[in-house]
Amino acid sequence: MSLRIVLIDDHTLFRVGLEGLLESRGIEIAASVDSGEDCIQLVTEKKPDVVLLDMRMPDVSGIGVLKKLRESNLAMPVVMLTTSTEESDLVESLRAGAQGYLLKDMEPDALVIALRDIVAGKTVVAPDLAPILAKAVQGKKEEPEPPEASPFDDLTPRETEILGLLAEGQSNKAIARNLGISDGTVKLHVKAILRKLNVHSRVEAAVMAVEKGLQRNPVSTS
């Protein structure tokens, strides 16, 4: 199967050397340029089977060129050919629509095989990057665990206020006096607090409140 390629890479020596390697293996270089600035017109005119893109370029990055091509509804496969093994570059390229992410230090024959597979419809990532891709995919599947429900969430503002006073070591009478309510009302609130916190004594409730930092004036232990 004959392949026509547009090669975009700002490193002249690498680009010229790659042209020779690909042509010696029967691949036609439809165009070879050092910038992605006029990529839409170039690719539209040349109609290559695949576009081979460098990731790092000074004017427009490879990702930028890729996005331009996709926004212009140019559907031929685009392959990133780069030295970057960064997970972020790999993931961003694939999300932007690249069909391949290959490394510049791969063997020429392996590159040709990868290009043919990509043109045939496969998505190909350099074998060395398979663990990085797997990690990225697994990371996307992991949903953050919802925060555990706190029993304190069920307390009313008044109950939270009374619990804070319990944590300070105040008696029911002192709490009643401070809040301007009756002892009986305080007892009812304390009973509701114990039930909601699922504890059996005001001491247990006070300990939980201290751990939560609800007391306004912590009792000195000295």
Continuous segment of H or E residues that includes residue 82: strand 78-82
Distance from C-alpha of 128 to C-alpha of 130, rounded to nearest angstrom: 6
- Tell me the domains of the chain and their CATH numbers: 3-141 (3.40.50.2300), 151-212 (1.10.10.10)
Distance from first CA to last CA of the chain, Å, rounded? 86
Cβ neighbour number for residue 30 with a 10 Å cutoff = 19
Nearest CA to 42 out of 101, 64, 34 is that of 34
Q: Which residue has the higher pLDDT, 174 or 139?
A: 174
Q: Give the model's pLDDT for residue 69.
A: 86
Question: What pLDDT, in 10s, does the model give residues 117-166?
Answer: 999 988 888 888 878 877 776 665 445 556 667 778 888 999 999 988 98
Q: Which residue has the higher pLDDT, 148 or 205?
A: 205
Residue 164 corresponds to which amino acid? G
Nearest CA to 79 out of 38, 136, 18 is that of 18
Cβ neighbour number for residue 75 with a 10 Å cutoff = 9
Q: Give the model's pLDDT for residue 220.
A: 41
Q: How far is CA 91 from CA 54, 63, 88, 211, in A?
A: 16, 11, 5, 43
